[in-house]
Structure 1
Amino acid sequence: MLEDHHVGKMVLMKVNSAAVLSSVPLQMVYYFNIFYYIFYFIVTFLMIIYKSRVFSFPDGNLAFDLVLLILMGILEVTKLYHGFKGNLTEEAVPVVTNMVLTIGSMLLSLYYLLWQTYVLKADVIINAILLVIYGLEEVLDIIAVSSFARIYM
């Protein structure tokens, strides 16, 4: 005796899920940049204080070096905010804003590397490291923006 078994039909629905485009390496560079920049800011500030005690600064140069350091700190916070926001929300405009602000940060780092009143070997080392981080960040920013643009534009 054959029994007819009713087998319920299972309906499989295909769900279109968007791929995650946020760049993990870029996010890691941003996080590393936060910690390194805090270190950089403190060390640069302390070296400026040290240089002001040991060397004779021409009029206005000490204030100029300090003002540029504070400006660089403000620029860094703004830059990283846009970078984090753009990468995590997969939006190109904040990442591009970060890229433009990074160029400003690179120029200020070059000032501390080459043109500040007194450049010590420690200045050269910490600014070279910062410039490498900025360069890596710019490359990863370009990759992220191209990835976002390919999908969303």
Structure 2
Amino acid sequence: MKAVVQRVRQSSVSIDGKTVGEIQCGLMVLLGVTDVDTEQECDYLADKIAGLRIFEDDTGKMNRSLLDIQGEMLIVSQFTLCADCRKGRRPSFIRAAKPETAIPLYNRFIAQIQARGIRTATGEFGADMLVSIENDGPVTIPLDTEEIMPKGK
């Protein structure tokens, strides 16, 4: 799984001019599911993101997690994170999971975050969405389970 995590002051997602999800202080997560992802990658990434210490403590050091600050999370599916741009100029999306695989893993990720007591908002899988992000910092962290997950997990 691939994610782009952004620390935000506020973020929202709208479809056809109607806001379908919005948060205040917290994390905006763009989530891409690849064709090799399983529940293990999903659970690992949810735990990693919920515990990322990217919010400032009283001394201004990034030392607090979303859980610590009781922040919110906006989760938006984004298959384009799985783009392969090694050949030519047109991205290939062959590594993106098909909806029958991606939707259950996307929903599981949301459930894993909610199970930690984090207020969540979401976009709509497969919809054409307009995302508004007020990036705080700016802090933007890309994560890929192929790179960060311990081998053998």
Q: Tell me which of the two structures has the higher relative contact order, counting C-alpha pairs closer than 8 angstroms and 6 or more residues apart.
A: 2
Q: What TM-score do you get using the length of structure 1 for normalisation?
A: 0.27
Highest Rg: 1 or 2? Answer: 1
- Return the structure number with greater strand share: 2
Q: What TM-score do you get using the length of structure 2 for normalisation?
A: 0.27
- Return the structure number with greater helix share: 1
